[in-house]
Amino acid sequence: MPGRRGWFIETGDAPTSVPNLYTFVHAGGRADRFLEWQPDLRELVRVVAVCAPGTGHRFAEPRPDDLTALAEDAAEAIAAHATEPFFLFGHSLGALTAYETARRLPRAPAALTVSGCAGPPLLPSERVRRLAALEPAAFAEEVRFFGGIPPEIESGSAAATLLLGPLHRDFAMAAAYRYRPGPPLDVPVTAVVAADDPHVGPEGAARWQDVTAHPLEHREVRGGHFYFEDDAGAATAVLRRVVDRHRPTAETHVELI
């Protein structure tokens, strides 16, 4: 049973000595979506899902409509919760939220992994702006472009309303986002793009180089926009590589006395 407390959800199935990996879910997704990766990552990181107001166990709270305000609050929560080192991961809208959160953290994460998302200077895309402006019925039909929506859910059904209402609101938040240039992050960034993702290609993912002072690391995986639904190992393999590459070691920890 996941432990749910305020901003964070975790399984508790990881050693206390490992770093935290804070995960940010895609538009309309469940905050605890990535907790199922914990068994594959158990000896490396503790997966900690970031639960925004208005979602999951915080459903009764007002849902944010401004991404930068959400990032400010998430950064404050993580700053109070995290011990160094720690890592950030986000998929799609969650990748953008993770980035804006990283910009506001007083202590930088050891690395940021962004999945299924073009670089912030390109956002929001014209498709996201157009879908966000649609009426609910039209939105329900066109958003299937991204995948991840069960085909048995019919537009106009109660299930569709329950699923697509939060998704539509998240699209509206994404459409209202405006990138504000600033100093590049002093954080290594790994951009993950799926070979058959119709929304994000290698060129769009390459624009993450614009926002990091480190050489951008690229990883291509098989599948579509929600590649990890068919192969969770594709995502956890990338995260294993990121953590192995960027976690501090005894040799790199030096204290002046």
Residue range 210-225, pLDDT digits in tens:
999 999 999 999 999 9
Bridge partners of 3, per DSSP, are 10
- Report how many domains make up the chain: 2
Mean of pLDDT over the chain = 91
Are residues 19 and 61 located together in one domain of the fold?
yes
Position 256 in a domain: no
CATH code, 199: 3.40.50.1820
**What is the per-residue pLDDT across 104-148, written as a single tens digit (0 to 9) for each?**
999 999 999 999 999 999 999 999 999 999 998 888 888 877 776
Residue 164: phi, psi to the nearest 5? -85, -20
Position 253 in a domain: no
Are residues 56 and 170 located together in one domain of the fold?
no
User: Domain range spanning residue 153?
Assistant: 124-176
Query: Contact at 8 Å (CB) between 36 and 232?
Result: yes
Strands across the sheet containing 3-5: 3-5, 8-10, 46-50, 20-24, 86-91, 111-115, 189-194, 217-221
Are residues 118 and 136 located together in one domain of the fold?
no
Are residues 82 and 169 located together in one domain of the fold?
no
Are residues 191 and 140 located together in one domain of the fold?
no
DSSP summary character for residue 86: E
Dihedral sign computed on CA atoms, order 234, 239, 241, 244: negative
Position 163 in a domain: yes
Position 255 in a domain: no
Whether residue 1 is predicted with pLDDT greater than 50 in this model: the reply is: no
| Residues 237, 245: Cα–Cα separation, whole Å | 12
